[in-house]
């Protein structure tokens, strides 16, 4: 497993709830959005966005995908890593 936030072939590997939360927060701030703005755009609540950004491990997947979509991000699943760390 790669450490949180490593880049692999031009993509950032996010392998923990905390890493996903940091990525969401960074994308939100880069777009000049408040948590309330993102919640409204994604059909979630401000509390949910805050929990997601803090890396709460029990957030539900469907709202996470809505938040990612509202930020123009996507979730991608890669195959198993090879012994040298490549996917």
More confident residue, 48 or 80: 48
Domain boundaries, the chain: 14-70
Angle between the N-to-C axes of helices 17-30 and 46-53, in degrees from 0 to 180, rounded to the nearest 10: 120
- Reported residue count of the chain is 87
The answer to whether 4 touches 15, Cβ cutoff 8 Å, is yes
What's CA 17's distance to the chain center, in Å?
A: 8
pLDDT tens-digit profile of 72-84? 998 988 888 776 6
The answer to whether 37 touches 44, Cβ cutoff 8 Å, is no
Q: What's the whole-number mean pLDDT along residues 25-29?
A: 98
CATH (one of 1.20.1250.20, 2.60.40.10, 1.10.3210.10, 1.10.260.40) for 14-70 = 1.10.260.40
CA angle 46, 76, 60 (to 5 degrees): 35
Query: Considering the entire predicted model, what is its pTM?
Result: 0.80
């Amino acid at each position: 497993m790669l450490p949180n936030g490593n880049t692999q072939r031009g993509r950032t590997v996010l392998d923990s709830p905390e890493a996903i939360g940091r990525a969401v927060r960074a994308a939100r701030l880069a777009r000049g959005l408040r948590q309330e703005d993102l919640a409204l755009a994604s059909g979630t609540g401000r509390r949910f966005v805050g929990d997601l950004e803090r890396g709460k491990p029990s957030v539900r997947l469907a709202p996470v995908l809505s938040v990612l979509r509202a930020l123009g991000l996507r979730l991608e699943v890669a195959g198993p890593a090879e012994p040298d760390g490549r996917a």
